[in-house]
């Protein structure tokens, strides 16, 4: 019986040694980084048509028109110093164009006159945007003009930019 137990013990130890001798491990370092991500997208018609065709007798200011058919989505992961700016491709010589963005993550500037805002002078429309994402947020444009400015037609490109 002792001989069987001794043989069995030696066999088990041999098996354990063989198992340990054949086991191998390897390691690898993995460096992970999340970079700044700023994304903004506008949903709505490619071109919004706004036409002023009314006014009040005796008043220079014609009846302004608004459009709130567009929305935007935003994603940002940097800091609360992040903001959205708005500008036009070129200043408007006549009339006024204003923009207002609704935001659940930041502080809206209300209705901002972007008539003279170009890429070098973009204006803040939302500031202190918290990290995160939101979608379906309203964009409202208001177009106004005075009778004394006469007739005119213009086509403008509005640019929204997410920056810190």
**149 found inside a domain:** yes
Q: Is 137 within the bounds of a domain?
A: yes
**Cα–Cα dist 12/38, whole Å:** 61
Is 28 within the bounds of a domain?
no
Instruction: Specify if 5 maps to a domain.
Output: no
Full pLDDT tens readout for the chain, 164 residues: 566 655 555 555 555 555 556 899 999 999 999 999 999 999 999 999 999 999 999 999 999 999 999 999 999 999 878 999 999 999 999 999 999 999 999 999 999 999 999 999 999 999 999 999 999 999 999 999 999 999 999 999 999 999 98
Please report whether residue 155 resides in a domain. Answer: yes
Q: What is the pLDDT of residue 22?
A: 81
Residue 139 lies in a domain: yes
Residue 42 lies in a domain: yes
pLDDT of residue 4: 62
Domain that holds residue 61: 38-163
**Tally of structural domains, the chain:** 1
Q: What is the reported pLDDT for 146? A: 98
pLDDT at 15: 55
Cα separation, 142 vs 64, whole angstroms: 7
Residue 14 to residues 11, 21, 50, Cα–Cα distance (Å): 5, 10, 88
Is 72:42 a contact under the CB 8 Å cutoff?
A: yes
pTM of structure? 0.82
* Structural domain contains residue 80: yes
């Amino acid at each position: 019986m002792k001989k069987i137990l001794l043989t069995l013990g030696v066999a088990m130890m041999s098996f354990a040694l063989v198992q340990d001798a054949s086991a191998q491990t390897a390691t690898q370092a993995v460096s992970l980084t999340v970079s700044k991500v700023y994304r903004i997208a506008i949903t709505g018609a490619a071109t919004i048509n706004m036409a002023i065709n009314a006014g009040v007798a005796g008043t220079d200011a014609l009846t302004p028109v608004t459009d709130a058919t567009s929305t935007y989505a935003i994603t940002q992961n940097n800091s609360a110093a992040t903001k959205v700016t708005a500008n036009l491709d070129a200043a408007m010589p006549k009339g006024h164009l204003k923009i207002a963005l609704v935001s659940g993550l930041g502080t809206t500037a209300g209705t901002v006159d972007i008539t003279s805002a170009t890429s070098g002078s973009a204006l803040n429309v939302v500031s202190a945007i918290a990290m995160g994402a939101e979608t379906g947020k309203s964009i409202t444009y208001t177009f106004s003009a005075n009778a004394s400015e006469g007739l005119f037609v213009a086509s403008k490109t509005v640019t929204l930019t997410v920056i810190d």
